[in-house]
Amino acid sequence: MTDTQTFLKHAAKVCAQIDAETVERLVAELKALRERGGRLFITGVGGSAANASHAVNDFRKLCGIEAYAPTDNVSELTARTNDEGWETVFAGFLEVSQANDKDAVLVFSVGGGNAEKNVSVNIIRVLEEAKKRGMKIFGIVGRDGGYTKQVGDEVVVVPTVDAGLVTPLTEAFQAVVWHGIVSHDDLQIRDTKW
């Protein structure tokens, strides 16, 4: 079997094991968010930051949900990193945005944040801030879901089918899951071009 065949075989396993019920509950939560006029703050770092940026477009354009990715404003992101530290960049974004209990955070992350291992602490801090503000917490994460899964309201965990492919499969399936969400009949209000 070639590497490509192996990767695709693992992708098929992940697809078959995604918890569809959790995705459906997440869709219902996002529909309620839109109905109450809430905003969606999508956070991620690395490849997940790129996914967050793309997802913002889809939620705004296809679903009519006011959405933002703090990583899209590189000037604010780097100023906050320089002046306040990397750990609080997303929490500071919520503060200035006056995020409240009508809003939600959607985390894209491979590990979901892990304080003990000092990994994605900025995600932990934004979720702590979200909790203080009474916001809903959603996620599409890998591994065991980390801190996001521990404190989240609806969190889709991308199953680990090969420990050596956790990052590429998680980041790939963030896109699969969010595209399924924005294409859902209960959320999509505008057609795609193709």
Provide the residue ranges of all domains of the chain, joining segments of one domain with +.
Answer: 37-182
Q: Which CATH architecture has domain 37-182?
A: 3-Layer(aba) Sandwich (3.40)
Q: How far apart are alpha carbons 50 and 80 in whole angstroms?
A: 19
CB burial of 28-63 (b: ≥16 within 10 Å; e: otherwise) equals ebbeebbeeebbbbbbbbebbbbbbebbbebbbebb
User: What's the pLDDT score for residue 61?
Assistant: 98
pTM of the model: 0.97
User: What's the pLDDT score for residue 97?
Assistant: 97
Average pLDDT, the chain: 97
- How does pLDDT run across 75-133, given as a tens digit for each residue? 999 999 999 999 999 999 999 999 999 999 999 999 999 999 999 999 999 999 999 99
User: What's the pLDDT score for residue 171?
Assistant: 98
Mean pLDDT, residues 33-39 taken together: 98
User: What's the pLDDT score for residue 173?
Assistant: 98
